[in-house]
Structure 1
Amino acid sequence: MRQLNVAVVGTGAVGQTILQVLAERNFPVGRLKVLATSRSAGNTVRFKDQDYTVEETTPASFEGVDLALFAGGEASKLFAREATARGAVVIDNSSTFRLDPEVPLVVPEVNPQDVRWHKGIIANPNCSTIQMVVALKPLHDAARIKRVVVATYQAVSGAGQEAIEELRQQSRQVLKGEKEVRGAVFPHQIAFNCLPHIDVFLENGYTKEEMKMVYETQKIMGDPSIRVTATTVRVPVFNGHSEAVTVETERKLTAEEAREILSRAPGIVVVDDPQAKAYPLAVHASGRDEVFVGRIREDISVESGLSLWVVADNLRKGAATNAVQIAEVLLREGLL
């Protein structure tokens, strides 16, 4: 297999996880560049038992690069187009291009075919959207989903390395009995607390994170008629997002039918034995690439409804692994 010149842009939690996943999946990396801001330039990162010096990102950084994996943030706005202008294919983890009609928004278990119409950039969806649509797609194929109601319980790692450190520090402060619990990442104390506030509030009363789940789900599923409402909540968990998802379908599915459908679906592990206290947990999903589904039951409030509990590692399947899986699809399709 041809070795590719790869650039990873960003050295935070997602960027480090991208490097880890590339190594684990034996992606054919020939020459590697690790790029970041001037503040991080000169640091070293490790990939496959070799140290790499982090370089400052400039337009010239992408000369000779085949694949550029952007870990998110402002770099995408500044440099993604510069990378494609120099011949690289960009897989971007930021929200910059997700709703651009000219840019595919891809989850390989759901819409891998969309990579074929890329024009240099492919967007990686929001972490909470990724795990949800992996669970929705097989149910949609079987019975057509009309409506989705979701409440998320999102780990602090979704807000970056500084958020992880803030939860650690605040937890220490609370456990020591300190009255003043300080923080800079979140608007309120996150330790031993839940914040129904991720990203900015919009005029309709929803947050930007919640509306991402609405619009991204419709785009990935290729069905703008699916009605979606979301409440996104940050919880004091280090890694692993959990979601309570209720769907209404055109054709009624029993819980047993849904369990069987999901058990056969790619990328899903069904953990659903409540009597044995077996259901998906964030601590078990952390470090894994699958989407875990359990608590599958028929919704007693509507004629054709199902309720699910969906859990995944937000740094892996919710970001890094999904991006690398997109790159693998490009390779299989001969598009890299």
Structure 2
Amino acid sequence: MSYRVAVVGATGAVGREILKTLAERDFPVREVIALASGRSTGLEVSFGEKAVLKVQALERFDFKGTEIALFSPGASVSAVHAPRAAAAGCVVIDNTSQFRMEPEVPLVVPEVNPKALKGFARRNIIANPNCSTIQMVVALKPLHDIARIRRVVVATYQSVSGAGKEAMDELFNQTRAVYVNDPTVPEQFSKPIAFNCIPQIDRFMEEGETKEEWKMAVETRKILDPDIAVLATCVRVPVFIGHAEAVHVEFEGPIDEEQAAEALREAPGVQLVDKREDGGYVTQVDAAGEDAVFVSRLRRDPTVPHGLAFWCVSDNLRKGAALNAVQIAEALHAEGLIRPRRGG
């Protein structure tokens, strides 16, 4: 049993990571098609260690006969082509923000709310959450199961890869410019990113939060519990890969550090690395290239009646994007929610 799979946005950082992840996890494919904009037609991308795919133009591609499409081309492109693929009978797993808050589109993290997948057939589209939301809810879910979460206050430290290849290039070029005393002119960010932190990700909204901060709040409620209050401050930091978060959680009832640590040790997708000694925690450099959501610095928050604080790190291109999308496809396959067409 195998599938014809299209990867849309195959030349981007997330698209390449999706191709890599499909191959590494040996997802049952009979054919993989790499799609991108017309200007990328003919470029080559890797699938696994040996296979090389020629990129085809998304605008001209007919999705009939393709069972799964993994989209990461940007929201405006998904808005046009994801419904086109879905109408052709292809199940779309979309990594952009375009469909996340639409009521009939499941927003899924397989370790957290896999049952939501059963509603995908209404639109034939499944949304992949925001990268910073994914890692946080994976860590919160086992704790929420013990003592319901009332409120989350989170500060993120998000790498430039979350803004794409051009943003990574800007960090590299600005860092080099600082050392040779050249000017650093921001293009991808509102201020220089080299040796700096920028407390703005995405545009500002009416109430003063940025769009990224809004996403974390509304997506957490849709995925985990509609009654959880979330206050986020999202910061871009001069790191190439990996998002970190300082998370402060207020619970409705008692929960102690030992209970929380045990739940996190047993939780799927989580690795607890928490030694109270120098270096006994995980950083973004440690998490790069890894699949897990790492939790460190777990401790009681004495400022609220039932509170915990922890440090949470994950590779935003892996679990925050590509891996979560592939895990959704794996869950569809495992649960028999999708089947190959004739010849599969």
Gaps of at least 5 residues in structure 2 are 339-344
Q: 1:255, 1:296 within 8 Å by CA — same for their partners in 2?
A: yes
Q: CA deviation at 1:187?
A: 1.1
Is 1:117 aligned to 2:116, yes or no? no
Kindly provide the amino acid, as one letter, of the partner of residue 190 in structure 1: I
String of CA shifts for 1:220-267, please: whole Å, max 9, x gaps. Answer: 01x211100000000000000000000000112111221111111111
Deviation at 1:72, TM superposition (A): 3.7
- Residues 197 and 232, structure 1, Cα contact 8 Å, conserved in 2: yes
The question of whether the paired residues in 1 share the 8 Å contact of 2:18 and 2:322 is answered with: yes
Identity %: 56
The Cα offsets for residues 73-127 of structure 1, whole Å up to 9 and x where unpaired, read as: 0321110010011110000000000000000000000001111111200000000
Q: Distance in 1 between matches of 2:174 and 2:58?
A: 33
Cα offset for 1:61? 2.8
Residue 341 of structure 2 aligns with which residue? none
In structure 1, the partner of 2:108 is: 106
In structure 2, distance between residues paired with 1:177 and 1:276: 34
Q: Say whether 1:156 aligns with 2:155.
A: no
Q: Measure, in 2, the Cα distance between the counterparts of 1:3 and 1:18.
A: 17
Q: CA deviation at 1:165?
A: 0.6
Letter in 2 for 1:189: P
1:215 alignment counterpart? 218
Distance, in Å, in 1 between the alignment partners of 2:64 and 2:127 is 21
Equivalent position of 1:14 in the other structure: 14
CA contact (8 A) 1:4 1:31 kept: yes
Distance in 2 between the 1:109 and 1:334 partners? 18
Secondary structure of the residue that 1:309 maps to in structure 2?
strand
Report SS of the residue matched to 1:45.
strand
CA contact (8 A) 1:108 1:325 kept: yes
- Structure 2 letter corresponding to 1:268: V
TM-score by length of 2: 0.95
Q: What is the one-letter code of the residue matched to 1:50?
A: A
One of 76, 79, 89 as aligned partner of 1:77: 79
In the TM superposition, 1:12-161 aligns within 5 A as 12-48=12-48, 49-58=50-59, 60-73=61-74, 74-119=76-121, 120-161=124-165
Report matched runs for 1:312-327 at 5 Å. 312-327=314-329
What CA distance in whole angstroms lies between the structure 2 residues aligned with 1:129 and 1:32?
29
Say whether 1:197 aligns with 2:200: yes
Aligned length: 333
Deviations 1:44-86 (CA, angstroms, capped at 9, x unpaired): 1111312211011126431211000001403211100100111
| Distance in structure 1 (CA, Å) of the matches to 2:38 and 2:289 | 30
Partner secondary structure for residue 223 of structure 2: helix
CA RMSD of aligned residues (A): 0.9
Distance 2:12 2:61 in 1: 22
Match of 1:230 in 2: 232
- Scaled by the length of structure 1, the TM-score of the pair is 0.97
The answer to whether residue 298 in structure 2 is matched with residue 293 in structure 1 is no
Contact 2:257 2:300 in 1 (8 A): yes
The whole-number CA distance in structure 2 between the counterparts of 1:43 and 1:80 is: 22
